[in-house]
Amino acid sequence: MRVILSSTPDLQQERSELTKLVLPEVRQLAEKRGLAWIDDAAVDEGAQTVLLGLLGQRYGWAIGERELVHDAALGQADGRAYFYLRDMAWVDSLPLSQRIGYVETPTPEENALLGQVAAGMVAAGRRGQLDELKTRVRASGHPVRDFTDAASLTALVRADLLALVEELADS
């Protein structure tokens, strides 16, 4: 089993908790059930690849991760994919000073280079791309779960991966 975990900058806390709390537990169960666990940097043609696609309200992650998520949303990826989308209502409930880190806005570099109006249009374009991606993800046929915060995401991922380990071990 090989788990690939995507993340945008607004999901670092969630990714950290999954990496520290959930993935070691799942790895331990997988190994007890006789399933090999492959480090996500390794390549093993026989390994069951599992993509955990985390999507918040920002589109700016590394191009390689973006391609993995897009391929899975279009049904072109090998292995299994699970998608977790953060509920905007949770972001809206944050104080404005905290909310800014969770939404797609122009970067300081974009503002300096393009001016505020043009930079705002660039950021709006990224928001549109993210909305389109979320629509494709929901239509992909892969499991899609909505979450609010790190604790709710952790519970959802734990349940999905533990069930998957049991399914793979029993097959």
pLDDT higher than 70, residue 8: yes
Both tokens of 168, joined, read 């793979």
Distance (Å, whole) CA 94 – CA 78: 37
| Least confident piece of the model among 7-16, 19-28, 61-70, 114-123 | 61-70
- Structural domain total, the chain: 1
pLDDT higher than 80, residue 57: yes
Q: How many CB atoms lie within 10 A of CB 147?
A: 20
Query: Interior CA angle at 18 toward 31 and 33, to 5°?
Result: 15
pLDDT band per the 50, 70, 90 thresholds, residue 60? low
pLDDT band per the 50, 70, 90 thresholds, residue 29? very high
Residue 37 contacts residue 31 (beta carbons within 8 Å):
yes
Strands 49-55 and 80-86, sheet pairing: parallel
Assign residue 108 the CATH number of its domain: 3.40.50
Domain residues for the domain of 145 are 2-170
